[in-house]
């Protein structure tokens, strides 16, 4: 349900931004508001507090955001409160930001390596990503996972390219387990000539 809510409201905000030609403005403001809400979790608790009535919650939001961000964004927050969905605000903003990034052809990638990558290696990875995708720029999150042994995995959206040594070793182990060894029977199973 939360995913559907974020899509409905996020799409509405995206459509409004496109129609008004204010995509960059809404994008920058949504990003800032998402960071603020992330840093101030107590605001979510306050707005979700059942003892505070809806009108009071809306006044609090108007005081915080009114005149400081686009009226459409403030209106979205007020609507979310009215519908009892303010707890989904972070997800709505995240969905909207992803839609804008797709529109602007900004890719989002997660790169996991066995050890810390150098700046030169990161530059090469980003250059290769740009060459092999439709994106014009990338936001890349780099993580380290020593269990990969070597190589790396790259995730863009729901696609994963796994070039880790761990995965290659697991595949090799699977192949080795399936090989039949020994005698004429084993040779016949492998398709080898029996003299």
Residues 45-60: tens digit of each pLDDT: 888 888 889 999 999 9
pLDDT for res 191: 52
- Asked if the structure places residue 150 within a domain, the reply is yes
Residues 10 and 40 in one domain: yes
Identify each DSSP E strand in the chain by its residue range: 106-113, 137-144, 152-156, 159-162
pLDDT higher than threshold 60 for residue 72: yes
- Asked if the structure places residue 186 within a domain, the reply is no
Choose one of 77, 102, 127: the last residue of a domain.
102
Q: Which domain holds residue 168?
A: 106-178
pLDDT for res 94: 95
Residues 65 and 30 in one domain: yes
CB 152 within 8 A of CB 113: yes
What six digits make up the tokens of 177? 């387990």
pLDDT higher than threshold 60 for residue 185: no
Residues 93 and 146 in one domain: no
**Cα dihedral 58, 76, 89, 80 sign:** positive
What pTM did the predictor assign? 0.75
Average pLDDT score over residue span 155-183: 77
- Asked if the structure places residue 113 within a domain, the reply is yes
Residues 113 and 96 in one domain: no
- Asked if the structure places residue 183 within a domain, the reply is no
pLDDT for res 183: 46
């Amino acid at each position: 349900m939360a995913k559907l809510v974020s899509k409905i409201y996020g799409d509405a905000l995206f459509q409004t931004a496109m129609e008004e030609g204010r995509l960059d403005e809404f994008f920058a403001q949504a990003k800032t508001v998402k960071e603020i809400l992330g840093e101030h979790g107590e605001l979510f608790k306050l707005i979700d507090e059942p003892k505070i009535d809806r009108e009071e919650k809306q006044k609090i939001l108007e005081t915080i955001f009114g005149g400081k961000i686009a009226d459409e964004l403030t209106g979205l927050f007020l609507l979310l409160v009215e519908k009892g969905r303010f707890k989904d605000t972070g997800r709505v903003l995240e969905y909207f930001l992803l839609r804008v990034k797709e529109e602007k052809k900004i890719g989002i990638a997660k790169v996991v390596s066995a050890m810390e990558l150098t700046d030169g290696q990161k530059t090469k990875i980003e250059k290769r990503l740009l060459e092999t995708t439709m994106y014009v720029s990338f936001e890349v999150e780099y993580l380290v996972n020593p269990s990969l042994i070597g190589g790396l995995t790259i995730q863009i959206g729901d696609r994963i390219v796994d070039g880790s040594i761990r995965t290659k070793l697991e595949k090799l182990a699977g192949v080795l387990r399936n090989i039949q060894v020994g005698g004429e029977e084993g040779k016949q199973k492998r398709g080898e000539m029996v003299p």
